[in-house]
Protein backbone atom coordinates (compact mmCIF):
# COMPACT_ATOMS: atom_id res chain seq x y z
CA UNK A 1 0.00 0.00 0.00
CA UNK A 2 1.42 3.41 -0.91
CA UNK A 3 2.57 5.42 2.08
CA UNK A 4 2.04 9.16 2.41
CA UNK A 5 5.78 9.65 1.99
CA UNK A 6 5.63 8.02 -1.45
CA UNK A 7 3.80 11.08 -2.77
CA UNK A 8 5.77 13.87 -1.19
CA UNK A 9 7.96 15.92 -3.51
CA UNK A 10 8.57 19.55 -4.37
CA UNK A 11 5.18 19.52 -6.11
CA UNK A 12 3.21 17.50 -3.56
CA UNK A 13 3.39 18.74 0.02
CA UNK A 14 2.51 16.78 3.17
CA UNK A 15 -0.52 19.07 3.55
CA UNK A 16 -1.72 18.16 0.07
CA UNK A 17 -1.31 14.45 0.82
CA UNK A 18 -3.40 14.94 3.95
CA UNK A 19 -6.07 16.67 1.83
CA UNK A 20 -6.00 13.81 -0.69
CA UNK A 21 -6.46 11.29 2.13
CA UNK A 22 -9.32 13.27 3.63
CA UNK A 23 -11.09 13.78 0.30
CA UNK A 24 -10.89 10.52 -1.65
CA UNK A 25 -14.20 8.70 -1.17
CA UNK A 26 -13.23 5.37 -2.77
CA UNK A 27 -10.85 2.61 -1.61
CA UNK A 28 -7.36 4.07 -1.29
CA UNK A 29 -5.84 1.19 -3.26
CA UNK A 30 -8.74 0.74 -5.68
CA UNK A 31 -8.73 0.97 -9.48
CA UNK A 32 -8.59 4.76 -9.49
CA UNK A 33 -6.79 5.20 -6.17
CA UNK A 34 -3.30 5.84 -4.90
CA UNK A 35 -1.37 3.07 -6.73
CA UNK A 36 -2.83 4.40 -10.02
CA UNK A 37 -1.79 7.95 -9.10
CA UNK A 38 1.80 6.84 -8.49
CA UNK A 39 1.94 5.07 -11.85
CA UNK A 40 0.43 8.10 -13.63
CA UNK A 41 3.08 10.25 -11.94
CA UNK A 42 5.87 7.94 -13.10
CA UNK A 43 4.44 7.81 -16.63
CA UNK A 44 4.06 11.57 -16.66
CA UNK A 45 7.52 12.38 -15.36
CA UNK A 46 9.12 10.04 -17.90
CA UNK A 47 7.10 11.69 -20.65
CA UNK A 48 7.80 15.21 -19.42
CA UNK A 49 11.53 14.71 -19.99
CA UNK A 50 10.74 14.00 -23.64
CA UNK A 51 7.88 16.40 -24.29
CA UNK A 52 9.02 19.43 -22.33
CA UNK A 53 5.85 19.42 -20.23
CA UNK A 54 5.79 21.21 -16.88
CA UNK A 55 6.64 18.39 -14.43
CA UNK A 56 4.94 20.13 -11.49
CA UNK A 57 1.62 20.26 -13.34
CA UNK A 58 2.09 16.65 -14.42
CA UNK A 59 2.72 15.48 -10.85
CA UNK A 60 -0.24 17.39 -9.49
CA UNK A 61 -2.49 16.03 -12.24
CA UNK A 62 -1.46 12.51 -11.25
CA UNK A 63 -2.69 12.89 -7.69
CA UNK A 64 -5.71 15.13 -8.35
CA UNK A 65 -7.42 14.02 -11.60
CA UNK A 66 -9.42 11.18 -10.00
CA UNK A 67 -9.69 12.62 -6.49
CA UNK A 68 -13.41 13.45 -6.74
CA UNK A 69 -14.61 10.16 -8.20
CA UNK A 70 -17.74 8.78 -6.60
CA UNK A 71 -17.51 5.35 -8.21
CA UNK A 72 -15.00 3.19 -10.08
CA UNK A 73 -17.12 3.10 -13.26
CA UNK A 74 -18.61 5.84 -15.41
CA UNK A 75 -18.57 8.95 -13.26
CA UNK A 76 -18.87 11.65 -15.88
CA UNK A 77 -18.57 14.60 -13.53
CA UNK A 78 -15.41 13.59 -11.72
CA UNK A 79 -12.97 15.46 -13.95
CA UNK A 80 -14.70 18.84 -13.64
CA UNK A 81 -15.13 18.29 -9.89
CA UNK A 82 -11.39 17.60 -9.57
CA UNK A 83 -10.64 20.80 -11.46
CA UNK A 84 -12.83 22.86 -9.13
CA UNK A 85 -11.26 21.15 -6.10
CA UNK A 86 -7.79 22.13 -7.33
CA UNK A 87 -8.90 25.71 -7.98
CA UNK A 88 -10.58 26.16 -4.60
CA UNK A 89 -10.15 23.67 -1.74
CA UNK A 90 -6.41 23.08 -2.20
CA UNK A 91 -5.45 26.11 -4.32
CA UNK A 92 -3.20 27.43 -1.55
CA UNK A 93 -1.29 24.14 -1.41
CA UNK A 94 -0.39 24.05 -5.11
CA UNK A 95 2.96 25.57 -6.14
CA UNK A 96 1.53 26.91 -9.40
CA UNK A 97 1.05 30.33 -10.93
CA UNK A 98 -2.33 31.16 -12.43
CA UNK A 99 -1.33 30.02 -15.92
CA UNK A 100 -0.10 26.63 -14.69
CA UNK A 101 -3.19 26.22 -12.54
CA UNK A 102 -5.33 26.76 -15.65
CA UNK A 103 -3.46 23.94 -17.40
CA UNK A 104 -3.94 21.60 -14.43
CA UNK A 105 -7.64 22.43 -14.19
CA UNK A 106 -8.24 21.96 -17.91
CA UNK A 107 -6.31 18.66 -17.96
CA UNK A 108 -8.36 17.35 -15.02
CA UNK A 109 -11.72 18.61 -16.30
CA UNK A 110 -11.36 17.00 -19.73
CA UNK A 111 -9.20 13.95 -19.08
CA UNK A 112 -11.99 11.50 -19.94
CA UNK A 113 -13.14 13.25 -23.11
CA UNK A 114 -10.78 11.37 -25.43
CA UNK A 115 -9.22 14.57 -26.74
CA UNK A 116 -5.74 14.51 -28.20
CA UNK A 117 -5.15 18.14 -29.20
CA UNK A 118 -4.02 20.58 -26.52
CA UNK A 119 -1.00 22.39 -25.15
CA UNK A 120 1.85 19.91 -24.52
CA UNK A 121 1.65 19.86 -20.71
CA UNK A 122 -2.05 19.01 -20.95
CA UNK A 123 -1.35 16.35 -23.57
CA UNK A 124 1.34 14.84 -21.33
CA UNK A 125 -1.10 14.64 -18.41
CA UNK A 126 -3.72 12.86 -20.52
CA UNK A 127 -1.15 10.44 -21.92
CA UNK A 128 0.22 9.64 -18.46
CA UNK A 129 -3.27 8.55 -17.39
CA UNK A 130 -4.07 6.64 -20.60
CA UNK A 131 -0.78 4.77 -20.39
CA UNK A 132 -2.05 3.10 -17.19
CA UNK A 133 -5.13 1.59 -18.85
CA UNK A 134 -3.65 -1.88 -18.83
CA UNK A 135 -4.41 -2.07 -15.10
CA UNK A 136 -8.01 -2.70 -16.20
CA UNK A 137 -6.99 -4.96 -19.09
CA UNK A 138 -7.12 -2.31 -21.83
CA UNK A 139 -3.98 -2.01 -23.95
CA UNK A 140 -3.23 1.70 -24.51
CA UNK A 141 -4.06 2.52 -28.13
CA UNK A 142 -1.32 4.60 -29.77
CA UNK A 143 -4.00 6.30 -31.90
CA UNK A 144 -5.57 7.66 -28.72
CA UNK A 145 -2.34 8.97 -27.26
CA UNK A 146 -1.47 12.62 -27.77
CA UNK A 147 2.30 12.76 -27.91
CA UNK A 148 4.89 11.06 -30.06
CA UNK A 149 6.79 10.23 -26.86
CA UNK A 150 3.85 8.26 -25.42
CA UNK A 151 3.45 6.31 -28.66
CA UNK A 152 7.04 5.09 -28.62
CA UNK A 153 7.26 1.32 -28.12
CA UNK A 154 9.69 1.72 -25.19
CA UNK A 155 7.42 4.06 -23.25
CA UNK A 156 4.34 1.98 -24.01
CA UNK A 157 6.08 -1.21 -22.89
CA UNK A 158 7.39 0.29 -19.65
CA UNK A 159 3.94 1.71 -18.82
CA UNK A 160 2.20 -1.60 -19.50
CA UNK A 161 4.79 -3.42 -17.38
CA UNK A 162 4.23 -0.94 -14.56
CA UNK A 163 0.44 -1.40 -14.76
CA UNK A 164 0.83 -5.12 -14.14
CA UNK A 165 3.65 -5.12 -11.59
CA UNK A 166 2.90 -6.06 -8.01
CA UNK A 167 2.84 -2.92 -5.83
CA UNK A 168 6.09 -3.67 -3.98
CA UNK A 169 8.04 -3.59 -7.27
CA UNK A 170 6.53 -0.42 -8.77
FE1 LIG B 1 -6.90 8.14 -13.89
pLDDT one digit per residue (tens) for the chain, 170 residues:
889 999 999 999 999 999 999 999 999 999 999 999 999 999 999 999 999 999 999 999 999 999 999 999 999 999 999 999 999 999 999 999 999 999 999 999 999 999 999 999 999 999 999 999 999 999 999 999 999 999 999 999 999 999 987 555 54
Kindly give the residue spans of alpha helices, DSSP state H, lying in the chain: 14-23, 34-51, 55-64, 78-87, 98-109, 120-130, 148-151, 153-164
Q: Closest Cα partner for 37 from 99, 108, 93?
A: 108
What separation in Å is there between the alpha carbon of 33 and the centre of ligand 1?
A: 8
What separation in Å is there between the alpha carbon of 162 and the centre of ligand 1?
A: 14
What separation in Å is there between the alpha carbon of 49 and the centre of ligand 1?
A: 20
What separation in Å is there between the alpha carbon of 93 and the centre of ligand 1?
A: 21
Any idea which fold 4-169 has?
Hypothetical protein af1432 (1.10.3210)
What separation in Å is there between the alpha carbon of 44 and the centre of ligand 1?
A: 12
Amino acid sequence: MPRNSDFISEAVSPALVAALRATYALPWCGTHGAPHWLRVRENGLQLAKLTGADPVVVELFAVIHDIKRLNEGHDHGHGPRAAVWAQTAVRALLPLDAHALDKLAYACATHTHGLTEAEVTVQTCWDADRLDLYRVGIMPDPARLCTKAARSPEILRSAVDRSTMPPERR
